[in-house]
Amino acid sequence: MSKFEMKEYEEKYCREWKHAFEADPKDGADKFYINVAYPYPSGAMHVGHGRTYIAPDVIARYRRMQGRHVLFPMAFHVTGSPVIGISKRIARGDEKTIKLYRDLYRVPQDVLNRFTEPTEIVKYFSDEYERVMSSCGLSIDWRRRFTTVYPQYSKFIEWQYKHLYEQNRVRKGAHPVKFCPQCDNPVGDHDLLEGEKAEIVKYTLVMFTWGEYKVPCATLRPETTYGVTNLWVNPNVTYKKVLLDGEKWILSPEAAHKLSLQEHEVKEEGEIKGSELIDQKMNHHMCGSVPVLPAEFVDPDMATGIVMSVPAHAPFDYIALRDLQKQGKYTDITPIALITVPGFGQFPAKDAVERSGIADQNDPGMETLTQEVYSAEFSSGKMFPQYGGKPVKIAREEYAELMREKYGSIIMYDFDNHNVMCRCGSRVFVKILKDQWFLQYSDEAWKKQIHEQLNRVELVPPEVRTEFERTIDWLKDWACSRRIGLGTRMPFDKNWLVEPLSDSTIYMAFYTIAHKLLQIEPEKLTPEVFDYVYRGEGSPDNLPIPKETAEDLRKEFLYWYPYDFRFSAKDLISNHLTFQLFHHKALFPENLQPKGMVVFGMGLLEGAKMSSSKGNVFLLEDAVRDLGADTVRMFLVGSAEPWQDFDWRKELVTATKKQIERFHTTVTEGNDASGSCDIDKWLISRLQERVKKTDEALQLFQTRQALQEAYFGIDSDLKWYRRRLPEGVTGSAVLKEVNSVWIRLLAPFIPFTCQNLWEFTGNSGNIAFAQWPTADESKVDEPVELAEELLIRTTEDIESIIKLIEIEKASSITLFVAPEWKYGLFRKIANAEDRNNVIGLIMKDEEMKKRGKEATDATKQITTLIHRLPPDLVGLIEKNDVSEAKVFESAVGFLEREYGLKVKIVKSDESSHPKARQALPFKPAILIE
RNA sequence: GCGAGGAUAGCCAAGUGGUCAACGGCGCCCGACUCAAGAUCGGGUCCUUAGUGGUUCGCGGGUUCGACUCCCUCUCCUCGCACCA
């Protein structure tokens, strides 16, 4: 088979299969609905995407051949903002982006010019996706293809959110987000140039008063306010006087700006130098009047730029105060302790500093030291009795609340240390987004339902279950509305778009009738229509669509739903895969909930992580063109199980191609064979086991294991088969039977080649619908397999001996077959309760007693042998009465031909040769001389 | 840092208490075919060795007659940690 032919039949079948997998409800058929997370078509498909869709296709094809009525649909997710960014960058002439699309994805220049319009990008790539997916032989019903911005889909989303809203699962809330003022939009971590690990920290502002002014000190530890001895202000900073929500405040300029983004009205009124604040007295209800001390370490860009000092419990404060006191200043200030911590003395901060030997506040160890005291006090600290005596853990929240209620404290958000930059180059701040909509995943009752539901979902591989459980527990409310991007407007608040992950939770239900919905004018798809179709609520009469249409939609939905399995990459467990469980539960009854999920691993390219942005990808289209779709398929599902990471290595893929070619050659050649041979029975017997194992593996989605059996297993059986054929014979008629089974067994993996061979071997029709082979137990012949196993093991022994001796000296092989009494021993030991202590048992036998040492030696050897043989085999040996002598006698011709030596078979008890005594059941003594 | 999963011979990888020196593939080596190369086919591939024995399955301990397999410590890797597909 030349490369040319492989390509040729692949293209031919691709055309023929265009409509082959369109699935309509069929009465009496056992449906199987499988689906995959749809792609976001913003770039070309690479081989990593390939596996995501090929693995489910293999399963779809397997089930179809089993007689299941399979639905495998596909659509495109185009909601969200990435393509908007891409088109902007292309419009702006961004080198990197243009290079990626022009050179790596090979978008023609005229098309690229149109990419300044975001929808053009997804339009172009979704067509490309369909083309490439088809060329891979994916058995998809393409009539159901849609994108998430089709008006009919929007109607579906509106219907869904109307329900969620009515169920009170979508609520308005305010949340702090990372926000870029220049883009005027929240930014996710992937939008950041810098500071990706930055976290939003929630400070409590402790409001000191200074005359008519309020002086906010930001703290993470409001419970320590009783221990404040002074404030710290940076004398070199010029602070602002502002009117914040109508009150006079003093704070750093940066802080003023930050708070203006956090739902506060900030009006600038004037300035005041830090130095002017030094030595002023500030008041707070909880600590009284305290002085302001100078501190250059105070960062105006950190929270409010004014800090309260608790030298008893904060190492930083302690050292700073100590340094000033060393200069003879502020010697009247003494730390005020208010927390006891096991392992520390009266002043934990002082202890920690002295223990660590840190000399000054610029020491890099200060950070760790602070953390140490902070953690110790948080986990095991207790407030002094006069401050309530509660554990810090609890007191902190209580004080924070008290201070917000009584002492004018408010919350301020800021990043922890990091400088955060947007991709646009502008600095990112924390902004409170008000009126944002949230899905109430934090709702305990809802969570409980999902936990219960999860127990009924089949998960592959089973190990991911704990991760799902964790995710459900960990989920908080999810902001489900966006200002910009493509998508559907919230039906109850048209100012917001439904967030991209939030509009992709129940679209598997849309697939079931997508092709029909797309024929209906969107405005007719009212919530009442969907209520009837998807929930069976109301009546099909008086809907905007004809009654028959409504009933037909309802029927088809119920025919396919619930889906049987959903496939997705493992990184979606913590969002999409779990979200969809929540939404299914909210909208559909118990009998329509998801039944199973299969989670994928990631893809590597030559050992390195695949990444489009780094250009480290291999395009699926190129792979199919260069190596053939079947090669790509077989490699992607055969080199690792779906949930394991796979590594696309050119060398291995090329080897896969050769394997397919070998398969093709073997089948083609075997087709002409006729007649029959002794070994036929063995081959057919083995084949049943291969079929069974392949099937078992596929049932568990183990595509790799299935291929091991279906391809390599049968291949290696055939190897032994050919070796055992009489001289000059290349095969027998039995190969036709093997071929027929083999072709069908591999059809889910390499459908093109199998279709070609299917026709070559005289069949017609699409092999995708041919009958899946099943094992025929009546063809399993244990004695024959056992005899062959004995021969295989013996040849291996002979070969290892030949390898070790000087072969030119040898002229004959003698096989000494174990005597009957050793077989008796074998059975006795195999059946013994305790195989390790059988000597006593054996020696009760008078005959064995007479044999003496010979018997004890044999017992030891046989015990070891039994431990070393596969348990199944031990059972078979014991059960079947195979005459070793006969097996070897009939194989003398074969053995003599194999080794070019004279072969003699001798019963060991009829020989006086010392070697003969070594003979064991299933392990003849071998003498080569 | 937290959560989940993982670490097996040159590489990939199977293997969950005795079937294990460890399936299979790749690479490499030898042989057959060929004028030759490639492809294909057969064999070999830890050290030793008449089919045996020894030392191996991230590091270090432990349980057991016996551990790649069970338990503990540590090291390293991958994924996720949210408003993003």
User: What is the per-residue DSSP string for A198-248?
Assistant: --EEEEEEEEEEETTEEEEEEES-GGGGGG--EEEE-TTSEEEEEEETTEE
Crossing angle of the two packed helices A714-724 and A680-699, in degrees rounded to 10: 170
Query: What pLDDT does A833 receive?
Result: 65
Q: Is the peptide bond before A300 cis (omega within 30 degrees of 0)?
A: no
pLDDT at A806: 61
DSSP state of A476: -
Closest-lying nucleotide for A570 based on CA to C1':
B79
Q: List, as one string, the DSSP characters of A572-596.
A: GTTTHHHHHHHHHHHHS-GGGS--E
3-state secondary structure of A170: strand
Q: Which nucleotide is nearest to A609 (CA to C1')?
A: B78
Total residue count of chain A as it appears in this document: 929
**Nearest nucleotide relative to A192: CA against C1':** B84
Distance A640 CA to B12 C1' (A): 9
Protein residue at shortest CA distance from C1' of B51: A797
* Res A416: pLDDT: 79
Q: Using the CA of A659, which nucleotide's C1' is the nearest one?
A: B25
Smallest CA-to-CA distance from A49 within A37, A34, A61 is with: A37
Task: Give the side-chain half-sphere CA count within 13 A for A234.
Answer: 18
* Dihedral sign from CA coordinates of A358, A362, A368, A371: positive
The model's pTM is: 0.88
Q: Which nucleotide is nearest to A802 (CA to C1')?
A: B50
Nearest residue to nucleotide B79, by CA–C1' distance, is A571
Q: What local confidence, expressed as pLDDT, does residue A836 receive? A: 61
Tell me the nt nearest to A915, Cα to C1': B50
Determine the protein residue whose CA lies at the shortest distance from the C1' of B27. A651
From the CA of A810, how many Å to the C1' of B20? 32
A128-152 core/surface letters (b: 16 or more CB in 10 A; e: else): bbbebbbbbbbbbbbebbbbbbbeb
The C1' atom of B7 and the CA atom of A61 lie apart, in whole Å, by 35
Gap from A48 CA to B56 C1', in Å?
A: 35
Å separating the CA of residue A804 from the C1' of nucleotide B55: 21
Alpha carbon distance A263, A431 (integer Å): 8
Across all strands, nucleotide nearest A723 (CA–C1'): B42
CA of A850, C1' of B65: distance in angstroms: 29
In angstroms, rounded to a whole number, what is the distance separating the alpha carbons of residues A457 and A467? 14
The whole-number Å distance from A706's CA to B24's C1' is: 12
SS (H, E, C) A367-410: HHHHHHHHHHHHHHCEECHHHCCCEHHHHHHHHHHHHHHHCCCE
How far apart, in Å, are the Cα atoms of A814 and each of A304, A653, A821, A911, A919? 95, 45, 21, 11, 11
Exposure string for A694-712, b = 16+ CB within 10 A, e = fewer: bbebbeebbbbbbbbbbbe
Nucleotide nearest to A924 (CA to C1'): B51
d(CA A865, C1' B64) / Å = 22
pLDDT, residue A3, reads 43
User: Contact, A203 vs A411, CB < 8 A?
Assistant: yes
The pLDDT of residue A1 is: 40
User: Vertex A859, ends A857 and A860: CA angle to 5°?
Assistant: 65
Helix axes A782-804, A714-724, angle to 10 degrees: 80
Q: Give the CA-trace dihedral at A546, A548, A553, A555, to 10 degrees.
A: 160
Q: How far apart are CA A66 and CA A744, in angstroms?
A: 11
- Taking chain A (929 residues) in runs of 10, the rounded mean pLDDT of each run is 68 95 94 96 91 94 97 96 89 90 93 94 95 96 96 97 95 86 77 75 92 93 92 95 94 93 91 94 94 92 92 91 91 92 87 81 76 80 90 86 91 82 83 89 94 93 90 92 90 94 96 97 97 96 96 97 94 93 96 94 83 82 92 92 88 89 89 87 92 92 91 90 84 91 95 94 96 94 89 86 71 88 83 67 74 78 80 80 88 86 88 84 86
- A871: nearest nucleotide, CA–C1' criterion: B19
The spacing between the Cα labelled CA in A504 and the C1' in B58, in angstroms, equals: 41
Query: Of A764, A794, A796, A822, whose CA–CA distance to A892 is shortest?
Result: A794
Q: Rounded to an integer, what distance in angstroms lies between the CA atom of residue A881 and that of residue A826? A: 12
Residue of least CA–C1' distance to B40: A662
In whole angstroms, give the CA distance from residue A403 to residue A286.
9
Q: Name residue A834's amino acid.
A: D
CB of A377 closer than 8 Å to CB of A348: yes
Note the CA–C1' distance, A786 to B69, in angstroms: 29
Q: Are A677 and A725 in contact (CB under 8 A)?
A: yes
Residue nearest to nucleotide B14 (CA to C1'): A705
> Which nucleotide lies at the shortest CA–C1' distance from A604?
B78
For residues A42 and A45, give the distance between their C-alpha atoms in angstroms, rounded to a whole number.
9
Spatial distance from the CA of A862 to the C1' of B48 (Å): 25
**Angstrom distance, A417 CA to B75 C1':** 30
DSSP string, A21-70: T-----TT--EEEEEEPPP--SS--BHHHHHHHHHHHHHHHHHHHTT-EE
Contact A292, A277 (CB under 8 A): yes
User: By C-alpha distance, which of A385, A403, A405, A396 is closest to A224?
Assistant: A396
pLDDT at A604: 84
What's the CA A647/C1' B26 distance, rounded, in angstroms? Answer: 12
What is the per-residue pLDDT for A835? 62
List the A869 CA – B54 C1' distance (angstroms). Answer: 21
- Tell me chain A's radius of gyration from C-alpha atoms: 38
Q: Which nucleotide is nearest to A486 (CA to C1')?
A: B85
Does residue A870 have a cis bond before it (omega within 30 degrees)?
no
CB-contacted nucleotides of strand B (7 Å): 3-6, 12-14, 18-21, 23-27, 39-44, 49-51, 65, 78-85
